[in-house]
Structure 1
Amino acid sequence: MNGVTGRMGYRQHLVRSILAIRDAGGVELPSGDRIQVEPVLVGRNAEKLQELARRHDVEDWTTDLDAALADESATVYFDAQVTSERKGAILRAIAAGKHIYTEKPIAETVGDGQEMVDAAVASGVINGVVHDKLYLPGLVKLKRLIDSGFFGTILSVRGEFGYWVFEGDVQPAQRPSWNYRAEDGGGMVLDMFCHWNYVLENLFGAVESVTARAVTHIPTRWDEQGREYRATADDAAYAIFELEGGVIAQVNSSWAVRVDRGELVEFQVDGTRGSAVAGLFGCRIQPAVSTPKPVWNPDLPTEEDFRSQWAQIPDNTEFGNGFRAQWEQFLLDVYAGRPHAYDFAAGVRGLQLVEAGLRSSSERRSVDLTEVATPPADQASTERLRATEPVA
């Protein structure tokens, strides 16, 4: 497990997934047997690794990635490093014969991602990319509504994501500084369009075109040492995605917005027979038969409490941690020797949307996804498009 000293790698992947699986006795197989797991912690900071190992009773840790990859007892390599370091480490792990599970984006460019796909296919290793939002209770409930035909014909999707990330001068920033430097693999489009691609294609349909505007609202930030730096990556993106079947999806993503919604991310889905608003955990619905009939009247204050007219879907089941759920599915796939549903190719499709979105922003036009065809591996050095001018 490479990169677990970072917040996401530590909290979600190490503690709440792998260590939770280990402490529960492993992943249960249909036969009743269990797949046991034991992590090997890898990173650059020996002091942090040693402390994590001590705190969580982990025997093996190292700052030598090649030594860890040479350990034949460790059959899976997981990567949660900064994006700019991911491709090289994963290619080394593939060459060592490891099955690969990785955070996204899997690389910085479509070409780099395709090189990783080709290497994984050639070696025959099972490969997977984290698709955590599909396992969230709110989106699981939303998927059930879609599968049941609740919406009738789906017309549109509207997504709102984000929160205020402090600049770092007065209040410490709650995200790493590299997230705001394009040269280190940062940026809202690169980070979140990979998420939106798999959410949209698995729930509503593949993205066919995108119109986007990527901006840097806050041009100056302060890093973990209190040093001022120029933000070279986009910190917000406003996009319209056209999906197969005619569904229109609008998604706003921003680290420079103050939250006035129930959850940090929410998706409203409107259909001919009903609508729903799904977040991380909750999902509220309003079927056609209970839809109110408001009348626009700017001369009188609105007396209707519109939010009270929606009904919350009950849990009906116990929802576990979404990251752990996908880890368990990946480990079952590795054990069975079968492909993982969300593989490197899915990660490349996310990068295609990233590059289409950045091109749309740069060229101020709608970009068809066919314009970002997957290049051969020898074009992996194609320079990323960027739109980083500050916007007041």
Structure 2
Amino acid sequence: MAARRSIGIAINGVTGRMGYRQHLVRSLLAIREQGGVPLAGGGHIWPELVLVGRDPDKLAAIAAQHGLTEWTTDLDAALARPDVEIYFDAQVTQQREKAIRQAIAAGKHVYTEKPLAESSAASLELAELATAANIKNGVVQDKLFLPGLRKLKRLIDGGFFGQILSVRGEFGYWVFEGDWQVAQRPSWNYRLADGGGIVMDMFPHWNYVLEELFGNVRTVQATTATHITERVDERGETYLADADDAAYAIFELEGNIIAQLNSSWTVRVNRDELVEFQVDGTHGSAVAGLRGCKFQHRAGTPKPVWNPDLPLTGKSFRDEWTEVPDNEEFDNGFKIQWEAFLRHVVAGEAFHWDFAAGARGVRLAEAGLESARTGQRIAL
């Protein structure tokens, strides 16, 4: 039997929504359930988990629920363990930089949620520290591994679009205010003092999606809004929501591609999925969401004529599109990237979603906020 390579992982922020659901349950525990991460030369990587957080009762309950034994509220103690080789951070953004610095100083490889830090300067410094310490580092860029975007990437790689002209994206949903219905996102997201705001949350995502699929961002022009200024927190107390809850942006990409992306927690969904990207090219167009992707080739493009006096007859415009087939089995995007990072650490396989990539995402968020503040188009 091929050897099993155990690797200790301190996972910080596991009591939070993202840390628990996507990273613990759907990624690391799912990896253990499948027997580990297979290696090309045989054998498997087996994650040994140390849960880290601030609430001992919640940590103990999570550990007991999933048959885990190792947990602590002492980050220094977790980082001092010789069996812990990787530190993962899913805390709120304001706590992240300090903890990552501790992990780098302890010589641990670091994988983290985004944004990497609260500023691009701090993000670049973390990248430099990680390089100097010769540690492997990575930032979660999960949307690249969504089935819908992987199908879109397949169309791009196959030359389907011809020359890509534009990208239009819609992301968001209605986050309840917390009074007559409980909010489905934590209250810190809507307070500037706690690091909230949709620009810092979503623009790092848009940077890697645009960069990886279409081209580097050259300029950004954005308008932000705080549409709902009063919300109710987890304790039932009303608070001032002063962080941006919507952003409307135009990005110029290399290759003269124009991208328009709307991000909002104050929009009711009238689309097939919570996020959708429409890509238009000279030879065809496609619309990709979380899981699905449909396309329309130029040979099958209908020829609409504007006439508001007559009702539409025949097929609706939506029915003129064709679904991209799955052609493969799609796993959870967070889990796929976890497996890639573990192979990167253990087997040295390539992994380019590093701190430098994370810093570019933070820089785009800063540029978006600067544009919204000044009313100017900002060059990157």
Compute the TM-score of the two structures, normalised by the length of structure 2.
0.96
Which residue is equivalent to 2:8? none
> What is the rounded CA distance, in whole Å, between the counterparts of 2:242 and 2:97 in structure 1?
22
Matched, 1:309 2:320: yes
RMSD of Structure 2 on Structure 1 (CA): 0.8
Which residue is equivalent to 1:29? 39
Secondary structure of the residue aligned to 1:39 is strand
Matched, 1:325 2:336: yes
Matched, 1:90 2:78: no
For residue 73 of structure 1, the aligned residue among 79, 83, 93 is 83
> What is the rounded CA distance, in whole Å, between the counterparts of 1:340 and 1:28 in structure 2?
16
Which residue is equivalent to 1:275? 285
* One-letter code aligned to 1:311: T
Matches within 5 A, 1:1-392: 1-303=11-313, 304-337=315-348, 340-369=351-380
Stretches of structure 1 that go unaligned for 5 or more consecutive residues are 370-392
Stretches of structure 2 that go unaligned for 5 or more consecutive residues are 1-10
* One-letter code aligned to 2:316: D
Larger strand percent = 2
Identity of aligned residues (%): 65
* One-letter code aligned to 2:355: F
> What is the rounded CA distance, in whole Å, between the counterparts of 1:307 and 1:338 in structure 2?
42
Secondary structure of the residue aligned to 2:42 is coil
Secondary structure of the residue aligned to 2:84 is coil
Asked if the contact 1:127–1:339 (Cα under 8 Å) also holds between the matched residues in 2, the reply is: no
> What is the rounded CA distance, in whole Å, between the counterparts of 2:257 and 2:220 in structure 1?
12
Deviations 1:163-183 (A, max 9, x none): 000000110000000001111
Cα distance, 1:84 vs structure 2 = 0.4
Compute the TM-score of the two structures, normalised by the length of structure 1.
0.93
Secondary structure of the residue aligned to 1:49 is helix
Secondary structure of the residue aligned to 2:184 is coil
Asked if the contact 1:126–1:338 (Cα under 8 Å) also holds between the matched residues in 2, the reply is: no
Cα distance, 1:184 vs structure 2 = 1.0
> What is the rounded CA distance, in whole Å, between the counterparts of 1:315 and 1:337 in structure 2?
30
* One-letter code aligned to 2:83: S
Secondary structure of the residue aligned to 1:36 is strand
Deviations 1:126-166 (A, max 9, x none): 00000100000000000000000000000000000000000
Greater shift, 334-343 or 315-324, is seen at 334-343
> What is the rounded CA distance, in whole Å, between the counterparts of 2:362 and 2:194 in structure 1?
16
> What is the rounded CA distance, in whole Å, between the counterparts of 2:348 and 2:104 in structure 1?
16
Asked if the contact 1:126–1:340 (Cα under 8 Å) also holds between the matched residues in 2, the reply is: no
